[in-house]
Every structure is written in C-alpha cells, then in structure tokens.
C-alpha cells in the first residue's frame, strides 16, 4: 500500500515543528515560566486548599513521624521572653531527653543558641544519653568576596567527616564555601551537620533542594539527606551517588510498625531495602510538597514551643522533630503552594524521602518520541478531517493532554510532564498542517482553471 505523498510531507513538516519547539525549550527560556506555572497547577489540583467548616481528613502523603516544634507568635506572646536567651529551649530538651525520638533537627541560628548557657548545659546533658541531634551549617556560592582559601580549608575540615568524596565527573559543579559552623561541642557530638539550602527557580519559587553541593573537593550533603540516612540507619559507605541519576541508600532499614488490637503501635520491625532518590545533573531533588502552608499544623503535627515542654514526653517517641522558627522577615519562602517558612520546606523535603514519594521527569529521548508522534498524528488528522473537525480534534487534544499530565502522570505516578511544550507542539503542528493543506488546495484550484490544461 502506497502512502500518499501529502501524508509523508505533512509528517515531515510536523517533525520539523517538534524539533524547533524542542530546540527552543532546551536552549532558551521562552517557555520556562509557563512550564513552572504548569507544575504549580499540578500541585494545586492534587492538594487543594482546605475549606473552612469542612472536616479535615488525614493526609496520606504526610508521614506521622514528622513533627514541628515552632517558635511562633503564640510562643513569643506566652513566654514574654526571647526563646534564644530564655529557658524554653533547654526545658524542651530536658523533656525530650526522656523520650525515644528518632532525631531532632535544630533549624535555628546556632550563633545565638551557643550564647545561651542554659541551652548548652541541657544540650550537653542530652548528648550524654543520645546522639541523634542535627544542626545546620551555612554555605553559599563562591564569589569575589569569598573568604581566604586557608580560612575555608580550616573551617571545612571541622565538618568534613559529614561529607562524601567527589568523583571526576563532579569537577564542573559550581563550588560553594562554608560561611559558619557550630561550635566544637556540637560538631563533636552532633549526629550530623549539613547545609539547609534550597533552590529557587527563575520565578523565585522553590521546587527543588540541592541534595549535595560541592565544597572544595568533597560533596557536602543537605541536612535532609543526613536526617534520612539516620532514619534509615545508613552509614556513609552505604550511600551510592550517581550524578544526574540518583542518590541510593544501600540496604536501608525500613521501620515497619506493628500495632496491637487497638491500633496502637507496640514495636517496630525492620526490613532491608534500597532507597533511590532521583536527582538532576546538579544533585537537586524535587520536593514533593504534601500540602499548603500550615499543613503540619492542620494535621496536628505541629506544637508551639511554649507548649512543647508541657505535653507528655511519650508524644515524641519514634518522631523526627524539627525545631524551628516562624519569622516572616527572614525565613519565608515561595513554594508551589504559596509561602512557607523554611522549616516547613525542610520538613516537606524529608517527608518526600521517608515516604518515598519521589517526583520524576520523563527522559529526554522518550519526551522527544512522544512529541514527534503527537505532532505527526495531529498533522495526519488535519489532512483527513474537515477543517472544523480538525479544530475540534485540536481542542480535544488540549483537554486530553491536560488530564493525562495533571491527573494521571502527576496525580497517580508522580511524573512531572508540563503541558506547555505538548500544547505548543500540537498547536503549531495543526497550524502548519492547515497551511500546507490550504496550499495544496490552492494548487489544485489553479490546475483546474481554464488555460492550465494541455491544448489540443
């Protein structure tokens, strides 16, 4: 069966259209902001805002092990003192010293904490019984105002034990420098010290977290990676790192809760399994936000610091506790779900890992194949159908792409496939095919006009 020439040429035209759009997508920022908006819509449709007066259902994406203890406006008003200099934090530490917490992360300014003798005394007492506390260190990209190399080397040597060796393929990674580290007691006794950096896209929205950054000739993990390693009982030599693909925890120890007849957890059993975290070429991981700001509060996984040392210590058993501050002036970040405080973003990042709720993207080759097939199909349908029927096909394609992208790929399979490029791909393939069809019709009309035929 011979394929009509017009179908072959239509297919070639549509392939060229796809190549041009993919070229613009890869080498320009023409579609970037529209793709960002498409990703944010996916989150919006999957995690709609809670309506007032409606019963709040349990969020299945939010791990119950993650709890926030926050210095908020209620804490400041109730304590009537600066929590950094008062006794609130050391009273909290004394309370959780009795509990069997999985880990505690202080997402607070350690420079101010270290000036509080009450907190340091409580921390020292806590370290005598537990080694599961994590702190931040501060890093930023190297610039002309960077610290002297000698100072950098000395500072990083203090926390180098929390880093990974760098491979030859990591040599072109952008380099960071350490700006501040906690004091000797914290460094010596903390379970982990990592960076708390986020990653803002061009529109200022935080959708990813740098799981690793390069400092000197080492890969330095985020505090979230260190918390996840501790959660899964993983040592540094059981972590496999492959740039552009994954960070893998080898034989991670999963905590499987065993409940009694009343539904209460009585113990945890362990199961060994590899955990694979997908990362891009810059070791960045998509944060799979499980809700809007205050989701932890809505789900009763939030405690004001003013109340944290009053509740029974058993509440903190088997919990990962984030201790942070809600400060609108310095720690408010823009996310796909509106503005969130930094500690909330960190908690959502860890939740992504311990829930194994990772977001993935379609590999470039399969994206190319899909777009070419979609473009060619659009062109062929435009040649077969009437113009008005082709227009209906175009509208139907838009609806189908939107549903597949938002509710099937993202909603069910955690696959990010923004609709922007497929939309433009179908639209311009349709327009090019219609123009080609009109050209063929005009050509046929000219051939049928008197004087265009052969003379007898």
- Give 281-302 pLDDT, tens digit per residue: 999 999 999 998 889 988 889 9
- Over residues 374-400, the pLDDT tens digits come to 999 999 999 999 988 999 999 999 999
Q: Does some domain include residue 456?
A: no
Query: What distance in Å separates the CA atoms of residue 222 and residue 213, rounded to the nearest whole number?
Result: 8
Is residue 269 located within the same domain as residue 379?
no
Q: Does some domain include residue 454?
A: no
pLDDT at 450 over 50: yes
More confident residue, 155 or 13: 13
pLDDT-derived band at 149 (thresholds 50, 70, 90) equals low
**pLDDT number for residue 1:** 62
pLDDT at 363 over 60: yes
Residue ranges making up the domain that contains 295: 66-356
Is 59 in contact with 295 (CB distance < 8 Å)? yes
Task: Reduce the secondary structure of 257-293 to three states and give it as a string.
Answer: EEECCCCCEEEEEEEEEEEEEECCCCCEEECCCCCCC
**pLDDT number for residue 55:** 65
Is residue 349 located within the same domain as residue 373?
no
**pLDDT number for residue 435:** 92
**pLDDT number for residue 148:** 59
Is residue 220 located within the same domain as residue 304?
yes
Q: Does some domain include residue 450?
A: no
Is residue 417 located within the same domain as residue 302?
no
Number of domains within the chain: 2
pLDDT-derived band at 142 (thresholds 50, 70, 90) equals confident
**pLDDT number for residue 259:** 81
357 contact partners, CB below 8 Å, separation of at least 6: 61, 288, 290, 351, 414
Return the axis-axis angle of helices 387-403 and 420-448, rounded to nearest 10°: 170
- Over residues 266-283, the pLDDT tens digits come to 777 888 999 999 999 999
pLDDT at 430 over 90: yes
**pLDDT number for residue 274:** 95
Is residue 256 located within the same domain as residue 368?
no
Q: Which two tokens stand for residue 95?
A: 């309370």
What's the full length of the chain, in residues?
456
Is residue 154 located within the same domain as residue 280?
yes
Query: What distance in Å separates the CA atoms of residue 440 and residue 376, rounded to the nearest whole number?
Result: 18
- Over residues 173-191, the pLDDT tens digits come to 999 988 889 999 999 999 9
Q: Does some domain include residue 455?
A: no
- Weakest mean pLDDT among 277-286, 309-318, 373-382, 445-454: 445-454
**pLDDT number for residue 447:** 81
pLDDT at 144 over 90: no
pLDDT at 18 over 50: yes
341 contact partners, CB below 8 Å, separation of at least 6: 293, 324, 325, 326, 327, 331, 332, 333
**pLDDT number for residue 412:** 93
More confident residue, 406 or 446: 406
Is residue 280 located within the same domain as residue 339?
yes
Is residue 193 located within the same domain as residue 272?
yes
At 254 the three-state DSSP class reads strand
Sign (positive or negative) of CA dihedral 410, 221, 120, 99: positive
The mean pLDDT value of the chain amounts to: 90
- Last residue within a domain, chosen from 329, 356, 383: 356
Is 259 in contact with 231 (CB distance < 8 Å)? no
Is 321 in contact with 244 (CB distance < 8 Å)? no
Is residue 235 located within the same domain as residue 101?
yes
Please give the radius of gyration of the chain, using alpha carbons only, rounded to the nearest integer: 28
Query: What distance in Å separates the CA atoms of residue 88 and residue 122, rounded to the nearest whole number?
Result: 11
Beta bridge partners of 415: 360
pLDDT at 454 over 60: no
Is 357 in contact with 288 (CB distance < 8 Å)? yes
Is residue 305 located within the same domain as residue 212?
yes
**pLDDT number for residue 335:** 95
Is residue 343 located within the same domain as residue 371?
no
* Short-list 101, 112, 99, CA closest to 71: 112
- Over residues 202-258, the pLDDT tens digits come to 999 999 999 999 998 899 999 999 999 999 999 999 999 999 999 999 999 988 878
Query: What distance in Å separates the CA atoms of residue 442 and residue 137, rounded to the nearest whole number?
Result: 70
**pLDDT number for residue 150:** 64
Containing 353, the helix (H) or strand (E) segment is helix 342-354
- Last residue within a domain, chosen from 356, 383, 402: 356
Instruction: Please state, in angstroms and as integers, the Cα–Cα distance from residue 358 to each residue in 126, 134, 286, following that order.
Output: 34, 23, 7
**pLDDT number for residue 146:** 58
pLDDT-derived band at 456 (thresholds 50, 70, 90) equals very low
Q: Does some domain include residue 449?
A: no
* Short-list 419, 369, 427, 364, CA closest to 393: 427
Q: Does some domain include residue 50?
A: no
Q: Which two tokens stand for residue 92?
A: 């909290």
**pLDDT number for residue 15:** 94
**pLDDT number for residue 213:** 96
Is residue 318 located within the same domain as residue 237?
yes
**pLDDT number for residue 255:** 80
Q: Does some domain include residue 323?
A: yes
Q: Does some domain include residue 453?
A: no
- Last residue within a domain, chosen from 338, 356, 374: 356
């Amino acid at each position: 069966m011979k394929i009509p020439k017009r179908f072959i040429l239509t297919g070639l035209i549509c392939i060229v259209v796809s190549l041009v759009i993919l070229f613009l997508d890869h080498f320009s920022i023409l579609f970037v902001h529209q793709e960002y908006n498409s990703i944010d819509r996916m989150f919006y449709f999957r995690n709609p805002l809670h309506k007032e007066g409606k019963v709040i259902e349990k969020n299945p994406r939010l791990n119950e092990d993650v709890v926030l203890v926050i210095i908020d406006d209620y804490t400041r008003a109730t304590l009537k003192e600066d929590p950094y200099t008062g006794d609130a934090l050391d009273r909290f530490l004394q309370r959780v010293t009795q509990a069997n917490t999985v880990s505690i992360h202080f997402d607070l300014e350690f420079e101010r904490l270290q000036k509080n003798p009450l907190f340091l005394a409580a921390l020292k007492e806590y370290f005598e019984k537990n080694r599961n506390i994590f702190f931040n260190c501060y890093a930023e990209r190297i610039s002309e105002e960077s610290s002297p190399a000698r100072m950098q080397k000395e500072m990083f040597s203090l926390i180098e034990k929390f880093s990974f060796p760098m491979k030859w393929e990591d040599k072109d990674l952008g380099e960071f420098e350490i700006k501040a580290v906690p004091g000797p007691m914290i460094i010596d006794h903390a379970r982990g010290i990592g960076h708390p950096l986020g990653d803002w896209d061009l529109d200022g929205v935080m959708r990813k977290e740098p799981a690793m950054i390069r400092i000197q000739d080492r890969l330095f993990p985020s505090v979230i990676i260190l918390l996840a390693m501790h959660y899964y009982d993983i040592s540094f030599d059981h972590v496999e790192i492959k740039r552009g693909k994954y960070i893998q925890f080898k034989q991670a120890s999963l905590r499987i809760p065993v409940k009694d007849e009343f539904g209460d957890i009585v113990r945890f059993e362990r199961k060994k399994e590899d955990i694979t975290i997908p990362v891009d070429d810059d070791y960045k991981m998509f944060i799979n936000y499980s809700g809007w700001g205050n989701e932890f509060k809505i789900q009763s996984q939030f405690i004001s610091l003013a109340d944290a040392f009053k509740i029974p210590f058993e509440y903190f058993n088997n919990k990962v506790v984030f201790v942070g501050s809600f400060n609108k002036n310095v720690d408010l970040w823009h996310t796909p779900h509106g503005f969130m405080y930094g500690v909330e973003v960190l908690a959502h990042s860890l939740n992504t890992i311990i829930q194994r709720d990772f977001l993935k993207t379609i590999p470039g080759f399969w994206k190319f194949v899909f777009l070419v097939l979609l473009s060619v199909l659009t062109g062929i349908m435009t040649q077969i159908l009437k113009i008005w029927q082709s227009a209906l096909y175009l509208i139907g394609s838009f609806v189908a792409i939107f549903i597949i992208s938002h509710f099937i790929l993202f909603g069910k399979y955690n696959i990010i496939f923004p609709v922007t490029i497929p939309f433009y791909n179908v639209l311009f393939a349709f327009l090019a095919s219609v123009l080609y069809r009109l050209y063929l019709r005009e050509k046929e009309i000219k051939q049928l006009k008197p004087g265009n035929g052969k003379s007898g």
